[in-house]
Amino acid sequence: MEKTQIGNLQFIVIACLFTIGDSILFIPSLVATAAGKDAWLAGLFALISGMGLLLFYTVLQRRYPRQTILALCDQLLGRYVGRAVSAAFVFVFLLLVASTLLREVGDFMATQILPNTPVQFIEMLFMLIVVRAVRGGAETIGRTAQIVAPWVLLLLVLLVLFVIPGSRISMIEPVLYNGVKPVISGGLQMIAVPYMEIASMMILFPLVRNDRRVRLNFVIGGALGGVILALVIFFCLANFGALIIRDSVYPTYLLAKKIELGEFLQRIEAIMAIAWMFSLFVKMAVCFYGTCVGAAHVLGLRDYRLFTFPLALLLLPLADMLAPNIIAYFRIAEYYPFFAGTFAVALPLALLAAGKVRGGRGRRREARVAKQK
């Protein structure tokens, strides 16, 4: 593992931007499909249970600080099983998340903002910047996140403020007309995207400078992003109602188009879209960094940078192969939580169980680390 380090503030903003990530673009539509008018309740439900998940991800870090999840696989599951499991985590989970992100960037830009540009060029340019960031290492990603985070947060707060005048509370009434079931269903489908994919940040945990504050900072960052997501879902519903949100693919962009302050401040949706490009970039950079570092770890190589260009080239057709169109693409929502949960929840649980069975080893290591301090 390399010796770059991420500061506390940088870690918070990475967690925040990762949570906002691609979720902000399509989550209102995804949740409204399942929960209808109560999608904002589903958003709250997902926010609360998501915080629980974030706490859960840091349990392994508490027990084994200074170890990546991949090294832990090797240590706790044995050489061969551990290698196979970490290979699955890298080449199935991280690579797939990265390709879905690329697909969403391409689709969003090509359908909403640059309709005459071939989608491959948009994806290529985006990948080029991500490759540059990943070659720079985790520290570069952290510093970039620190620079762009104020702008993203400022623009998103402005978005929420500007759409308050147009929202009507009658749009979300009656509350809980169909009972609690759709709320839970929508919430569970939502959890998978921001709060389970964030498990890829476990790769970054050992790189944080102050490993005692990882848990707190992770939850602060995740909560900040999660609150923004919940607010955006609420205002999407309160402005347009459940039917329009359900039928649109990028409801947040619809919301940004609605911003109009007097006659002079309008049509600033492209500026809002820039904020989402930043948050998408941070999520993509973390996932792609994890993929490259993980690939080097699985194959036992000393340099991870050699994977940046080939894997970036690999992602381009992979993103296009996922689904023929965006409607088919979102059909995955009903089983995606189980796929993501396999790697985000079941894998750390299995590692914890293996650590318990193997007994003293983990605790002895912890004692050694404590003694060194």
Choose one: 68-76, 217-225, 337-345, 352-360; the region binding other proteins (CB under 8 A): 337-345
The reply to whether 337 sits near other proteins by the rule CB under 8 A is: yes
Q: Is 37 or 258 the residue whose CB approaches other proteins more closely?
A: 37
3-state secondary structure of 21: coil
DSSP annotation of 116 reads T
Instruction: Note whether 249 binds other proteins by CB under 8 A.
Output: no
Please answer whether residues 5 and 210 qualify as being in contact, where contact means their C-beta atoms are separated by less than 8 angstroms: no
Task: Report the alpha-carbon distance of residue 232 to residue 159 in Å, rounded.
Answer: 9
| Binding of other proteins by 346 (CB under 8 A) | no
325 binds other proteins (CB under 8 A): no
Q: How far is CA 277 from CA 48, 103, 111, 135, 280, in A?
A: 26, 13, 15, 20, 5
Residue span binding other proteins (CB under 8 A) among the ranges 19-27, 145-153, 261-269, 299-307: 299-307
Helix (H) or strand (E) holding 49: helix 39-63
> Is 349 near other proteins (CB under 8 A)?
no
Query: By CB under 8 A, is residue 329 in contact with other proteins?
Result: yes
- d(CA 49, CA 70) in angstroms, rounded, equals 25
Amino acid making up residue 249: V
Q: Is 338 in the site for other proteins (CB under 8 A)?
A: yes
352 touches 60 (CB < 8 A): yes
The dihedrals phi and psi of 6, each to the nearest 5 degrees, come to -115, 130
Secondary structure of 111-124 in HEC code, one letter for each residue: HHHCCCCCHHHHHH
CA-CA distances (angstroms) from residue 355 to 73, 253, 325, 350?
10, 46, 43, 8
Does 217 sit near other proteins (CB under 8 A)?
no
Q: Which range of residues in 107-115, 226-234, 306-314, 357-365 is near other proteins by CB under 8 A?
A: 306-314
- The contact pattern for other proteins, residues 105-124, with x = CB under 8 A and - = no contact, is ---------------x----
Is 45 a binder of other proteins (CB under 8 A)? no
Instruction: Using the rule CB under 8 A, give the single segment among 63-71, 237-245, 255-263, 331-339 that binds other proteins.
Output: 331-339
Judged by CB under 8 A, the residue of 165, 335, 361, 367 near other proteins is 335
Q: How far is the CB of 160 from other proteins (least distance, A)?
A: 29
* CA distances for 354 relative to 70, 260, 357, angstroms: 14, 56, 5
User: Measured between alpha carbons, how far is 327 from 287 in angstroms, rounded to an integer?
Assistant: 24
247 near other proteins, judged by CB under 8 A = no
Q: Which of 150, 267, 270, 334 binds other proteins (CB under 8 A)?
A: 334
CB of 101 to other proteins, least distance (A): 14
Residue 233 to residues 52, 64, 186, 204, 250: CA-CA distances in angstroms?
A: 20, 37, 12, 29, 12
**Token couple for 278:** 């930043």
Contact 89, 71 (CB under 8 A): no
State yes or no: residue 36 binds other proteins (CB under 8 A): no
Residue nearer to other proteins on the CB measure, 165 or 317: 317
Does residue 355 bind other proteins (CB under 8 A)?
no
The answer to whether residue 93 forms part of the interface with other proteins (CB under 8 A) is no
- Give 147 or 313: the residue with its C-beta nearer to other proteins: 313
Return the amino acid letter for 262. Answer: G
- Among 306, 349, 353, 367, the residue binding other proteins under the rule CB under 8 A is 306
**Amino acid, res. 151:** W
Pick from 59, 84, 326, 332: which binds other proteins (CB under 8 A)? Answer: 332
- Only one of the segments 45-53, 259-267, 317-325, 356-364 lies at the binding site for other proteins (rule: CB under 8 A); that segment is 317-325
CB of 218 to other proteins, least distance (A): 27
Minimum distance, C-beta of residue 177 to other proteins, in the bound complex (Å): 15
- The alpha helices in 207-359, defined as continuous H runs, are 214-240, 242-247, 251-257, 269-299, 308-321, 326-329, 336-341, 347-358
d(CA 297, CA 294): 5
Structure tokens at 148: 């762009």
Binding footprint of other proteins on the chain (CB under 8 A): 34, 96, 99, 120, 181-182, 184-185, 188-189, 295, 299, 301-303, 306-307, 309-311, 313-314, 316-318, 320-323, 329, 332, 334-339
